Amino acid sequence: MTEVRTGAVRMMQGNQACAEGAVAAGCRFFSGYPITPSSEIAEYLSIMLPRIGGRFIQMEDEIAAMGATIGASLTGVKSMTATSGPGFSLKQENIGYASMAEVPCVVVNVMRGGPSTGMPTLPAQMDVQQARWGSHGDRGVIVLTAKSAQETYSQTIRAFNLAERYMTPVILLLDEITGHTTEKVVIPDPATIEIVDRAKPTESPAEYMPYRLTEDCIPKLAPFGTGYRYNVTGLCHNETGFPTNDSHDIDCLVRRLTKKIEMYEDEIIRWSEIMLDDAEIGIFAYGSVARSANAAVRLCREAGCRAGLLEPTVLWPFPAKAVLEMARRVKAIVVPELNLGQMAREVELASRCSIPVHRLGRVDGNPITPQQIVDLVREVL
């Protein structure tokens, strides 16, 4: 593997950019199980991490891979796992455990077609609702996405920063197109990269309560082995970390797991807009489909049709305010995605059903082309 120099312009696929971004963010542990189309992330990190004092483990299955990622994070090490489709399903129970125990880690899902084994080598965006609701129970969830190798690099870093800041698992949803497209990536100087590390407890071990209710709703978990002893469980627990059946403690815990994300939504949610100021038709697109949507906007404008694009880079929490604002400006919204309308439903809800929302879903393993989006925009007009 060629060494990557900072400031260098490199050609790399999205999966390699993900591995490079993880290392830049401070990731020093990866556990995973080979699965197409995410396997290159594990392959790159199996070489990169030992060179910098990190650890790579190929586990016996996806469930164990998620469990090992949680265990490593509890020692204070920034940890990540990567998977696709069926593997993401297997990880859900332990993702829920990490949410309840408030263990920061990053889960990358390079999406492929389903259900079941589906289309291992072809693209899809069929896991966006599973990313939000795949693990049972009420909790706040952070899910990022990326459309290019360059964006994958920066979004991987941001995923680690958000995980450490809000003490929660963060999911990065790529898709096969993004993961396997080879293109230019500029590796920035490390001094210019914002890195967030989890807050450490300031009280003594004798006074320490890992899940103490604080104004910011975010716990301070001491790394194992640093003199602080506490219990970690997936059961509802009180401030000490030990299980409880006290209704007040349970209510406080479950509400806090949601509140610690909701109260910071304005800091977490990000999106970009292209030519929306005077648009008649709005397009909502994410991941690799946003690239086709970007080209479609230009084609529409050249043909005299005022189309504009809203492109979220955070899918959950959902950018409802941005969608509602777009809905107030345009006559209709077009939502192209590689599924049968999973995020179109959210767009309809966020727009308060005030204008028509038109779905363009593709599930045959092929990408949505710019012309397909242009054709639907023309039909809408």
The answer to whether residue 161 is domain-embedded is: yes
Residues 177 and 35 reside in one and the same domain: yes
Do 170 and 319 belong together in one domain? no
Longest dimension (CA), the chain: 70
CB atoms closer than 10 angstroms to residue 277: 9
Examine the pLDDT at 249 and tell me if it is beyond 80: yes
Together in a domain, 166 and 25? yes
Query: Is residue 251 situated within a structural domain?
Result: no
Kindly state whether residues 185 and 273 are assigned to the same domain.
no
Q: List, for residues 162-184, the tens digit of each pLDDT value.
A: 999 999 999 999 999 999 999 99
- Residue 196, phi then psi, degrees to nearest 5: -110, 130
In this structure, is residue 197 part of a structural domain?
no
Q: Using one digit for the tens of pLDDT, what is the confidence trace for 42-77? A: 999 999 999 999 999 999 999 999 999 999 999 999
Q: Do 187 and 273 belong together in one domain?
A: no
Q: Are 176 and 298 part of one and the same domain?
A: no
* Residue 201 resides in a domain: no
pLDDT tens digit sequence for 295-325: 999 999 999 999 999 999 999 999 999 999 9
pLDDT over 80 (residue 252): yes
Q: Are residues 133 and 276 in the same domain?
A: no
Average pLDDT over residues 19-44: 98
Domain that holds residue 78: 9-191
Residue with tokens 């910071």: 264
CB 177 within 8 A of CB 321: no
100-158 residue pLDDT tens: 999 999 999 999 999 999 999 999 999 999 999 999 999 999 999 999 999 999 999 99
pLDDT value for 381: 87
Q: Which of 168, 191, 214 is the last residue of a domain?
A: 191
pLDDT at 193 over 60: yes
Q: Is residue 242 part of a domain?
A: no
Q: Please state the domain count of the chain.
A: 2
Q: Which of 191, 223, 255 is the last residue of a domain?
A: 191
Note whether 186 and 277 are same-domain residues: no
Specify the range with the lowest mean pLDDT, choosing from 7-11, 55-59, 241-245, 279-283.
7-11
CATH number at residue 279: 3.40.50.920
The whole-number pLDDT of residue 4 equals: 57
> Going by DSSP bridges, is the β-strand pair 332-337/357-361 parallel, antiparallel, or unpaired?
parallel
What CATH code is carried by the domain that includes residue 162? 3.40.50.970
Residues above pLDDT 70, as percent of the chain: 98
d(CA 365, CA 339): 10
Indicate whether 214 belongs to any domain: no
Total residues belonging to the chain? 381
Is residue 277's pLDDT more than 80? yes
pLDDT per residue as tens digits for the range 199-244:
999 999 999 999 999 999 999 999 999 999 999 999 999 999 999 9
**Residue 349 falls inside a structural domain:** yes
Predicted confidence (pLDDT) at residue 282 exceeds the cutoff of 80 = yes
State pTM to two decimals.
0.96
Q: What mean pLDDT, rounded, does the chain reach?
A: 96
The domain boundary, picked from 143, 168, 191, lies at 191
The whole-number pLDDT of residue 3 equals 55
- 62 within 8 A of 91, measured Cβ to Cβ: yes
Residue 129 counted as domain residue = yes
- Indicate whether 1 pLDDT > 60: no
Looking at the fold, whether 169 and 52 belong to one and the same domain comes out as yes
The Cα 367–Cα 126 span in angstroms is 13
Q: 177 and 278 share a domain?
A: no
* Pair (151, 16) in one structural domain: yes
Judged by phi (left if over 0) then psi (alpha if -120 to 50, else beta), residue 228 lies in: beta
- Could you give the percent of the chain with pLDDT greater than 90? 97
Both 181 and 322 in one domain: the answer is no
